[in-house]
């Protein structure tokens, strides 16, 4: 582990919800919840105003509505979020060639590799400038953690939230980590946390006191050794410039279980087309097609078929997905479907129609491999394109007379739209028939930065062993 705090972790603050507030003037300073809006939807992100009511990510949307009935509930707009993310990642790459994105709103940066920082003072200046630049370019805020390792930099950024900067000085790490919950450490989820709690271990200090042998006995060699090292603030993981994608996949969860086998087949075909669209957008192809089915009883099945070479042909992917579906019993209903492609490459193999049929024939139609693990799900899911005259809250629209706006709500043949833009005052609300010919879907408008300044938090709020 290095001796200077030159590893930076950036975490954008309530990213999806903050982007929506910046995009929609009428929502600024108000509770906003982004996620799936159906009965089985879950919260992707909640604004800090919504969090005050107890709403948090991964919470069932129905529960969020009970806690914050007056919040704005919006569908996610991932194309819009990706555009903002690219701007932020561009600022990070200007600091160093070693940028490791973890998601659209989170990344590690090795400041030392870029020559941007070499000691505590230069690291702090780089972090402060980054926050200022993010606000100036996007109008949004991000929290920055600086430390001598990735683990500690991420802990520091969490301590800095929202809209702050925390630097952990080398030599103070053990004192800072000691009283923290074991759940603070990477790799300690609910199950591991409960296992440790039953052994009387609830803090990082207690992990260190238990010793490596006891951790290995409780958790196994690999996990026990890694956890003991982290409790001693030892983390040698380097910042990796780009993490190679292992799969491309899409999936949908349905508000009502699908029982009609023909409807299931049509949904699989649609998902295959969306998956290929995402595959081509990334300039990739793949040779293993994977189908994921979650049934009415929450049991999840995955089936895969490997072609003789990589493809990005939608017909090939559709055909393979349809064959995989034949081997799945959907009796009782389906609540989730997904199609993915693994074995990625940056080239395609010709004449895969013949090869796909040959592979199926060789397998006898039944000997298809079942994946041992589900395909890694993407960090976020694109919502399906709305059907004609079906409008969803948060969706961008345009009207020839009133201009750009967004859907506040719809139902009973009506749709309510608020007409405003990122740089306008809060706009007026108008109601139309849902089939009004003048109302049409629109692309998101770019954000307008509202302030070039970022204020530092009160130094008195920094945790022990850290410096704000």
- Which residues are catalytically annotated? 106
What dihedral angle (degrees, nearest 10) is formed by the CA atoms of 362, 363, 365, 366?
160
Query: How far is Cα 42 from Cα 47, in angstroms, rounded to an integer?
Result: 15
Q: Please name which of 235, 263, 251 lies closest in space to residue 174, comparing C-alpha atoms.
A: 235
Rounded Cα distance between 280 and 162, Å, is 36
* Integer Cα distance of 141 and 133 in angstroms: 10
Q: What burial class does residue 199 get, using C-beta atoms within 10 Å of its C-beta: 0-12 exposed, 13-18 middle, 19+ buried?
A: middle
Nearest alpha carbon to residue 164 among 465, 464, 460 = 460
Give me 429's structure tokens.
Answer: 């609300």
Q: Which residues contact 302 (CB under 8 A, 6 or more apart)?
A: 290, 291, 292, 293, 370, 371, 373, 374, 375
Q: 219 and 201 in contact (C-beta within 8 Å)?
A: no
φ/ψ of residue 69, rounded to 5: -65, -20
- Could you give the CA distance from residue 224 to residue 424 in angstroms, rounded to a whole number? 55
User: How far apart (Å, rounded) are the C-alpha atoms in residues 153 and 157?
Assistant: 6
Secondary structure of 305-335 in HEC code, one letter for each residue:
EEEEEEECCHHHHHHHHHHHHHCCCCCCCEE
- Please state whether the peptide bond connecting residue 71 to the residue before it is cis, i.e. omega within 30 degrees of 0: no
């Amino acid at each position: 582990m290095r001796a200077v705090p030159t590893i930076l972790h950036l975490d954008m603050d309530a990213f999806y919800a903050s982007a929506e507030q910046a995009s929609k003037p009428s929502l600024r300073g108000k509770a906003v919840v982004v996620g799936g809006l159906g009965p089985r939807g879950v919260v992707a992100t909640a604004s800090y105003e919504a969090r005050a009511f107890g709403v948090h990510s991964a919470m069932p949307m129905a529960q969020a509505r009970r806690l914050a009935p007056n919040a704005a509930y919006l569908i996610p707009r991932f194309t819009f979020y990706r555009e903002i993310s690219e701007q932020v990642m561009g600022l990070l790459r200007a600091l160093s060639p070693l940028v490791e994105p973890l998601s659209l709103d989170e990344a590690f940066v090795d400041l030392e590799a870029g020559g941007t920082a070499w000691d505590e003072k230069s690291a702090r200046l780089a972090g402060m400038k980054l926050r200022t630049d993010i606000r100036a370019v996007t109008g949004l805020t991000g929290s920055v953690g600086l430390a001598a390792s990735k683990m500690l930099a991420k802990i520091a950024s969490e301590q800095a939230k929202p809209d702050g900067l925390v630097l952990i000085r080398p030599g103070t790490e053990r004192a800072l980590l000691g009283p923290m919950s074991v759940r603070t450490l990477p790799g300690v989820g609910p199950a591991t946390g409960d296992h440790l709690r039953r052994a009387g271990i609830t803090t990082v200090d207690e992990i260190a006191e238990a010793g490596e042998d006891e951790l290995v006995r409780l958790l196994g060699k690999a996990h026990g050794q890694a956890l003991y090292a982290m409790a001693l603030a030892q983390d040698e993981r380097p910042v990796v410039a780009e993490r190679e994608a292992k799969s491309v996949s899409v999936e949908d969860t349905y508000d009502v279980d699908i029982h009609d086998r023909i409807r299931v087949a049509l949904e699989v075909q649609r998902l295959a087309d969306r998956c290929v669209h995402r595959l081509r957008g990334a300039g990739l192809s793949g040779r293993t097609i994977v189908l994921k089915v979650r049934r009415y009883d929450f049991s999840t099945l995955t089936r895969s078929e490997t072609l003789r070479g990589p493809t990005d042909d939608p017909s090939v992917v559709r055909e393979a997905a349809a064959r995989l579906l034949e081997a799945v019993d959907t009796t009782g209903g389906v609540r989730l479907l997904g199609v993915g492609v693994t074995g990625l490459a940056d080239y395609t193999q010709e004449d895969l129609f013949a090869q796909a049929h040959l592979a199926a024939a060789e397998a006898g139609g039944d000997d298809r491999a079942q994946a041992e693990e589900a395909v890694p799900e993407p960090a976020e899911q694109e919502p399906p394109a709305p059907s004609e005259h079906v409008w969803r809250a948060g969706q961008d629209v345009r009207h020839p007379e009133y201009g750009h706006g967004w859907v506040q709500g719809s139902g009973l043949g009506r749709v309510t739209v608020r007409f405003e833009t990122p740089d306008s005052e809060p706009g007026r609300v108008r109601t139309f028939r849902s089939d009004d010919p003048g109302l049409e879907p629109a692309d998101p408008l770019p954000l307008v930065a509202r302030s070039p300044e970022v204020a530092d938090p009160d130094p008195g709020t920094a945790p022990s062993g850290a410096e704000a």
